[in-house]
Chain A
């Protein structure tokens, strides 16, 4: 569990990037910070691994104030994935993945074995291991970035707009991988994005932020969609533009029992099956991103 307690950050130039921010980030779930550019998302994320220290307030991981931990040591225990992958261009793919293990003095053979496994984990062919990052596509680089973030087997994974710079098809792929990894590896993921669809897709808990990291609304995607807390939220999630309000298109006939749904603008948004003229209701099995029922906290195991 990560807890922000009345955290503020005032940069030297007078920018109030974060203003009195408090929240609990539960373990083994994905929490997404979403908001427009400059609202303080990166600053919040970087305070978790002490890349940035708060001006006031405290951040606790499993009840321990991180101000008392040595930053370099703290960072080695927390995975970090960033937008332009941030891979070391002078190290091969496999060395990039193993970097953190080398830093923590894991024996070479063991480190490489683990790094190779991680390439499998993130769906990269081992034949890419000896390439330099510049010899990979953007999507592949991002996967290497994720593998590197997982190398030290951290409980916490921080992801700062990791898929912001890849094309939409690759992004969908990477998002699916992220959900699979979260399910399989049971990490506490803190994910930053400005894409609300991505936030709703990945987040168990979503925080919609305004300037100064002021929380406009916090909840599950369902809660936020059902009850936008303010006009700002409604506009941010697109509810006001009718993007999320779908109606049946009576003019177009789809195959079988399907009917076409359109948004308020009249654009096709999807199909829904309606056997015998009745709309289908979501299946009874609840959406589950985490199959684990463990209740232990971020710092254990």
Chain B
């Protein structure tokens, strides 16, 4: 425990302390989560409207997803012509993973919209753009956010891999702790990663509550209905 306090603001191999590594970790994971989410929405919408787009997009990203992260971390800088220790590599690689997971959710979300509702919004005079932003996107919201929660957790843990090519993150604690055989440091790293994952997850849930109030009332209702069914059964 003393080790944690002594190394909180300075120390560890890059001398930025646990706090410094946490900040690195925060933005290295936040960017891929947000980018993956934003990029997946138009791609998923397209995939849900065109069979061809769907099969091409989903198979390309499935293949990319099967590449081990360390391979991707080497392939990305070579392809983009970046130095291997640039944080951009981590961000690009993790964004690709994020899209691979998020694209499936987004495609499902947009494919499973009620056609009655979409047709009705067309019939009463929403323009295509209004329909997308005011009807389809909000209704896809719950499934999109569920996807974002999965992406968030996996991205936060994958950032640690960057430490093995020299991009600082909480993964440094794993690398250093392992090489010096110092369990406390590894444990500190794991706990810090878990805390970040929890914080991000709570933020996503909170955003959902604020932006999708109708969804909460709807799910409470169906939960109550399920309870009633159970009681009566």
Contacts and interface: CB of A to CB of B under 8 A. Distances in A.
Interface string A113-157: 000000000000000000010110000000000001100000000
A72 B117 CA distance: 16
B139 interface: yes
A84 B120 CA distance: 10
B129 to A, nearest CB: 10
A86 B123 contact: yes
A80 B121 CA distance: 10
Contact of B120 (A72, A76, A80, A104): A80
Contacts of B139: 89-90
B117 A88 contact: yes
Interface in B192-221: 212, 214-215, 217-218, 221
B68 interface: no
B214 A90 contact: yes
A120 B126 CA distance: 25
Interface in B12-66: none
B124 interface: yes
B125 A72 contact: yes
Interface in B69-125: 114, 116-117, 119-125
Contacts of B127: 72
A76 B122 contact: no
A284 interface: no
Contact of B125 (A76, A83, A88): A76
A89 B124 contact: no
Contacts of B217: 132, 134-135
A75 interface: yes
B6 interface: no
Interface in B113-147: 114, 116-117, 119-127, 130, 135, 138-139
Nearest to A133: B214
A43 to B, nearest CB: 13
Nearest to B114: A89
A281 interface: no
Nearest to B123: A80
Contacts of B135: 88
B51 to A, nearest CB: 14
A51 interface: yes
Contact of A134 (B122, B124, B212, B221): B221
A132 B218 contact: yes
Contacts of A290: none
B126 A103 contact: yes
A100 interface: yes
Contacts of B122: 51, 75
Interface string A41-74: 0000010010100000000000000000000110
A63 B134 CA distance: 34
Interface string A77-117: 00010111111111100000001100110000000000000
Nearest to A75: B125
Considering the complex of A and B, which 3 residue pairs feature the smallest CB-CB distances, nearest first? Answer: A86-B120, A76-B125, A80-B123
Given A75-B123, A89-B218, A132-B217, 16 more contacts: A46-B123, A49-B123, A72-B125, A76-B125, A82-B119, A82-B120, A84-B116, A86-B121, A86-B123, A89-B117, A103-B124, A103-B125, A104-B125, A134-B217, A134-B218, A135-B221
30 contacts: A49-B123, A72-B126, A72-B127, A75-B125, A76-B124, A80-B123, A80-B124, A82-B119, A84-B116, A85-B120, A86-B117, A87-B120, A88-B121, A88-B135, A89-B117, A90-B139, A90-B212, A90-B214, A91-B214, A100-B124, A103-B125, A103-B126, A132-B214, A132-B217, A132-B218, A134-B214, A134-B218, A134-B221, A135-B221, A148-B124
